[in-house]
Structure 1
Amino acid sequence: MPAVAERWEPRDKRKFFTYLLVELVIMAGTVMLAYYFEYTDTFNVHVQGFFCYDNAYAKPYLGPEESSAIPPALLYALVAGVPTLVIMISETVLFLIQYSSKELDSQEKTMLTGDCCYLNPLVRRTFRFLGVYTFGLFTVDIFVNAGQVVTGNLSPHFLTVCKPNFTALGCQHALRYISHQEACTGNQEDILRARKTFPSKEAALSVYAALYLASYITCTVKAKGTRLAKPVLSLGLMCLAFLTGLNRVAEYRNHWSDVIAGFVIGVAIATFLVVCVVHNFKGKLLLSEDPPQDNMPNAPMMNMSRVESPLEKYIASQETDDEDEPPQSFKERILGFFRWIRGRFGHFEHLQNTRQ
């Protein structure tokens, strides 16, 4: 008999839509905050000074970000597209495998979300995992942009794009510290970009996407023959993220500290979402075939055999045989229990001798 979805009470329906509204508001606020950090000048970048002829900031400038070996457009496309495709395809395949292995009439194939609509478990799981992943992407972007705005850390090629006039600044020796913003004469956009390197956004986004997707593959795919395939694929994704950070250092676009900080942010956010939010991607693709106990009042109960302890037998015998006697003290009950045990062992030895 197919399981019938239980209709919600009006109060439960209000709670559901309240929770949904709160989540949508949080998601919208996260997207808006990321937008203000990324595309507006609402938050001013901290202007950090530098020493004259500082070799840490005098590396060559290899061109804009688009000329990098891993340009931002390619990185963002991979970070957004690959996990989305993998999760959608995997959830669809797993759902179809489980769906085809069951009888079509043996269970309910939809999940009730309110009195007005029904939601397929495939859609529910896919939207849940992708929604959490998207929220994590914007969260990583906010953390990274906040760190860049607050610190204003200089890139390795800062002096190359800044083009300061060392003679006018009085840089007769390298220990002179320059703190005013007007010291630079180069392109203002390049200078602003060179002041936003800590932590590395590319490193944070790449390791976040790699760890989230690797965790999904490890926790979700349970097919035979994947004992080595899953670790290889997961470690391959982490290796690509690591190479992304190495590329940022090799092209003098970030310091080692910038890349390490980005890795820490990406790993921390991905771990938190996987463990605490999606609970290691646990969840049923379909509803259980067996209806709940509350819906089966006439179902036979399974009797489980249970071994009673000697103390329980003694107490039961005392309650049935000595109901009319006055209550005994704790000491008398303990002594009586041991006498009863000794009598049981004597009876057992008598049976053994009789059999012999």
Structure 2
Amino acid sequence: MSAMVALRRFIDLLLFVLLVAVEVALRQWMPPQKRGFFCGDESLQYPYTGTQTIGFAVLCIIVFGIPFIVIFVVELFRQLSHSRGKKQHTTQDAANESCYCGRRWKNIYAQIGYYLLGLLMTLVATEIAKRSIGRLRPYFFSICKPRLSDGTNCDFEQNQGHYFTDYKCESDVSHRMMAEMAMSFPSGHSSTAFYAMVYIALYLQVALSTRGSKLLKHLLQFSAVMLAWYVALTRINDHWHHWSDVLVGILMGALFAWLVARYVAKFFEGRCSTSSAAASKILVHSGLAAASAQSATPVLPAYTFGSVPYLQHHGPNHAAYGQTYHNYGYVP
């Protein structure tokens, strides 16, 4: 390994550590913004179930397990098929085989690194939004049971429709639960799940061959996106997020997935260059054809015997100067 490669990998590792440190610092030292509420707000009166359809462990499998397995398997088989194709034309020795093995692990390392970089950026962006907005979750009233500064609560008629920011929760809830109640926007499950599955769908588009079946790749892409879609819908059904929280989380995850795939991993760079080269080649050929067509000698029409050709700009008054013409020349 050269010194430049080692330095490059060290910088990459340092950037990863920096993003992880930012995420940890946000969770530890940035409390969510305290946000008020309207008494009688029905969007905050949903029951608290205490359970989640997609818990943290399942989300980790979706966000880490599935992408890692897909990238590992696809990259491994891509390199194996490439090395087999080479063996059909050239003789491979042990040194070349070890070179192919190193290339496989290098590609796997690079693809997983690209994916993790985008995932960390998605997590940091989601965490900043959660703690800056401080939107209350749909089960806020059922958990907090807020008591206002004058000792009353939202059951009193005079408090209906008024906005309050000075309150205390009557129920005995932990500090962690209090912080969780104020981090509804955007949905972290939706942003991370959609980032993972949209990224995998884009990765399969450029990495998975369709020689075996053209529908298999698209079915896998559809399944990945539908898995993320299901995760997002469960957040609304479990009353952990408002529908707008989920929508923004979906857009954030999909946007980060496209940005990383387009500008970091550069999935479509080869295809764009190939398309541009093909287009320029077509333009060159069409330009040559047009130039040759312009430089070619025009072909006179095949007149039949007895016709009287004359130039159109001579007009009908000069028709008498025309001569009888057939396919072999003028007739005197």
TM-score for both structures, normalised by structure 1: 0.68
Structure 1 equivalent of residue 168 of structure 2: 182
1:82 partner amino acid? I
From the superposition, tell whether residues 150 and 181 of structure 1 become closer, same or farther in structure 2 (CA, over 3 Å).
farther
| Contact 1:211/1:267 (8 A) holds in 2 | yes
Which runs of structure 2 are paired with 1:188-337 in the superposition (5 Å)? 188=174, 189-280=176-267
Give the deviation of 1:77 after TM superposition. Answer: 1.8
1:176 partner amino acid? H
Count of residue pairs the alignment pairs up: 267
> Quick one: distance in 1 between partners of 2:80 and 2:10?
31
> Quick one: distance in 1 between partners of 2:153 and 2:108?
61
Matched, 1:153 2:135: yes
Structure 1 equivalent of residue 39 of structure 2: 52
Structure 1 equivalent of residue 73 of structure 2: 89
Which runs of structure 2 are paired with 1:8-87 in the superposition (5 Å)? 13-38=2-27, 40=28, 42-63=29-50, 67-87=51-71
1:30 partner amino acid? L
From the superposition, tell whether residues 154 and 110 of structure 1 become closer, same or farther in structure 2 (CA, over 3 Å).
farther
Give the deviation of 1:14 after TM superposition. Answer: 4.6
Give the deviation of 1:281 after TM superposition. Answer: 7.1
Q: Which consecutive aligned stretches of 4+ in structure 1 deviate over 4 angstroms post-superposition?
A: none
* Identity, % of aligned positions: 23
1:165 partner amino acid? R
> Quick one: distance in 2 between partners of 1:162 and 1:139?
32
> Quick one: distance in 2 between partners of 1:229 and 1:155?
40
Q: In angstroms, what is the RMSD of aligned CA positions?
A: 2.9
Structure 1 equivalent of residue 152 of structure 2: 169
2:173 partner amino acid? N
> Quick one: distance in 2 between partners of 1:101 and 1:183?
68
1:180 partner amino acid? D
Give the deviation of 1:170 after TM superposition. Answer: 5.7
| Contact 1:169/1:183 (8 A) holds in 2 | no
Give the deviation of 1:21 after TM superposition. Answer: 2.5
Q: Which has the higher helix share?
A: 2
Give the deviation of 1:16 after TM superposition. Answer: 3.4
The alignment partner of 1:165 has SS state of strand
**Structure 1: stretches of 5+ with no match in the other structure:** 1-7, 113-117, 284-305, 311-356
> Quick one: distance in 2 between partners of 1:28 and 1:120?
25
2:14 partner amino acid? V
2:108 partner amino acid? T
| Contact 1:220/1:281 (8 A) holds in 2 | no
